Amino acid sequence: MKIMGLDIGGANTDCSIIEIKDKKIVNLKNYREYFPMWKNKDQLQDCLKKFCRNEEDIDVVCVSMTAELADGYNSKKEGVEDISQKVMEIFNDKEVYFVTFEGLKTYTQLKENPLNAAAANWIGTAELIKHIGKDCIFIDMGSTTTDIIPIKNLKESASGHTDLERLSTGELIYTGMLRTNLTSIVHTVPIYRKSTCVSSELFTITGDIHRILNNIQEEDYTCDTPDGNDKSIKSCKRRLARLVCADLDTLDDEEIIKLAEYIEKKQLEQIVTGLNKVVTRTKIDTAIIVSYGSGNLCQKAVEKLNMNVIPLEKYISKKVINVITSLGAIQMYLDKKDKNIVLLEEI
């Protein structure tokens, strides 16, 4: 049996394909495609075709999504309906399931309540993480958002399910490693020891400060840059200087690095605030963190709250961590069909 897991996000679409023989995983493939849905939603089928190239023998496809929030859609309902329809056009001869807040659903079932699948990808992730910690909080900082998922007694125990609900509970922080506009993190910054207001233009994003601070490498900066230029340290510094309407002639290198460090500190405070809400409510003192790239901030956040830390890379590799939501969709299918296969024990 060959199973494909898909997570169709607003900026990235992730894919995992596993092959099972005799209840053992004999092959695993992972793919990630930078695919901005707000610009390219009408080409989604082309993106999906890339994943199944030379994979004609796929039996089951399990799909989660967050791209319904992309501003190419007038509503989340419209987004779910469009994305699921496009999926079915490509995989109409396969067994297809969609991740929802009520488990996996067929396309027919999904159409009865489309919003049940909106931003439900973290449900699948929780199905994976529960095999590591019976009682834990999983923290995952992606390119755009940070998920804080509490698990108690082997079950996700989030207070909110929708994005709106999770934003109010601290379980979803709209701050990420790459795509976050810095003006959503700071309104004033210290420049040459003076409190300085920032410009509200989209001159620079978090990918720039984390590149400058060496939290990520150039190949990790996978989204578009605000000015369309390259992702070298010099270009990142040039974009960051524009945050205060300056350039590399008017801000010296030391001041630019201080600026990046200050914004990183303020972004960390956002994560700590959300995490503290979840810890206070659940009384859970163990955190499982993704420490590749984002781990610098995730680890600092849990350390500030004196939590026990379990790095996820003790269980899976960086390449697999990057597409963990697509693996979560597969795990939901394996659990549904009582396959007695735990992916984190096999990969």
Dump pLDDT digits (tens) for 257-276. Answer: 999 999 999 999 999 999 99
Average pLDDT on 195-216 reads 97
Buried residues in 43-78 as b, exposed as e (16+ CB within 10 A): ebeebbeebbeeeeebebbbbbbbbbbbebbeebee
* 308-311/286-289 β-pairing: parallel
Integer CA distances (angstroms), 307 to 96, 278, 282, 285, 322, in order: 39, 12, 13, 5, 24
Q: Are residues 48 and 100 in the same domain?
A: yes
Is 112 among the domain residues? Answer: yes
- Pick left, alpha or beta for residue 83 (phi over 0 → left; psi -120 to 50 → alpha; otherwise beta): alpha
Q: Nearest Cα to 163, choosing from 107, 126, 117?
A: 117
Q: In the predicted model, what is the mean pLDDT of residues 21-36?
A: 91
pLDDT-based confidence at 345, cuts 50/70/90?
A: confident
Q: Are residues 293 and 203 in the same domain?
A: yes
Same domain, 288 and 224: yes
**Residue 201 and residue 265 in one domain:** yes
Does the structure show a pLDDT above 90 at 56? Answer: no
Work out the number of other CB atoms within 10 angstroms of the CB of residue 159: 15
- Rounded to a whole number of angstroms, the CA Rg of the chain reads 20
Q: Is residue 43 part of a domain?
A: yes
Task: Please tell me the number of Cα atoms within 13 Å of 189 on its side-chain side.
Answer: 29
Do 115 and 28 lie in a common domain? yes
3-state secondary structure 309-327: EEEHHHCCCHHHHCCHHHH
Residue 293 has pLDDT above 70, yes or no: no
Structure tokens of 64? 């989660």
Least confident piece of the model among 4-8, 27-31, 114-118: 27-31
Which of 227-241, 293-307, 315-329 shows the highest mean pLDDT? 227-241
Average pLDDT value for residue range 70-94: 97
In a domain, 232, yes or no: yes
Q: Are residues 244 and 227 in the same domain?
A: yes
130 belongs to a structural domain: no
Handedness of CA 136, 141, 145, 146 (dihedral sign): positive
Q: Per the domain annotation, does 100 fall within a domain?
A: yes
| Whether residue 147 sits in one domain with residue 236 | yes
Domain holding 53, by residue range, is 2-124+318-346
292: pLDDT confidence band, cut at 50, 70 and 90?
low
Let me know whether 189 and 272 are in one domain.
Answer: yes
At residue 31, the pLDDT reads 93
Give yes or no for residue 71 having a pLDDT over 80: yes
pLDDT given at position 295: 61
CATH number at residue 230: 3.30.420.190
Residue 275 domain flag: yes
Burial class (CB in 10 A: 0-12, 13-18, 19+), 204: buried
Residue 225 falls within a domain, yes or no? yes
Least confident stretch, 67-71, 194-198, 290-294 = 290-294
Residue 75: CATH number of its domain: 3.30.420.40
- pLDDT classification of 53: cutoffs 50, 70, 90: confident
pLDDT at 265: 98
Claim to verify: residue 115 and residue 189 sit in the same structural domain:
no
Q: Are residues 226 and 108 in the same domain?
A: no
Instruction: For residue 129, tell me if it sits in a domain.
Output: no
Stated pTM of the model: 0.92
pLDDT score at 54: 77
Residues 68 and 115 in one domain: yes
Q: pLDDT, tens digit, for every residue of 221-249?
A: 999 999 999 999 999 999 999 999 999 99
Say whether both 97 and 234 belong to one domain. no
Structural domains of the chain, count:
2
If residue 112 lies in a helix (H) or strand (E), which one and from where to where?
A: helix 107-112
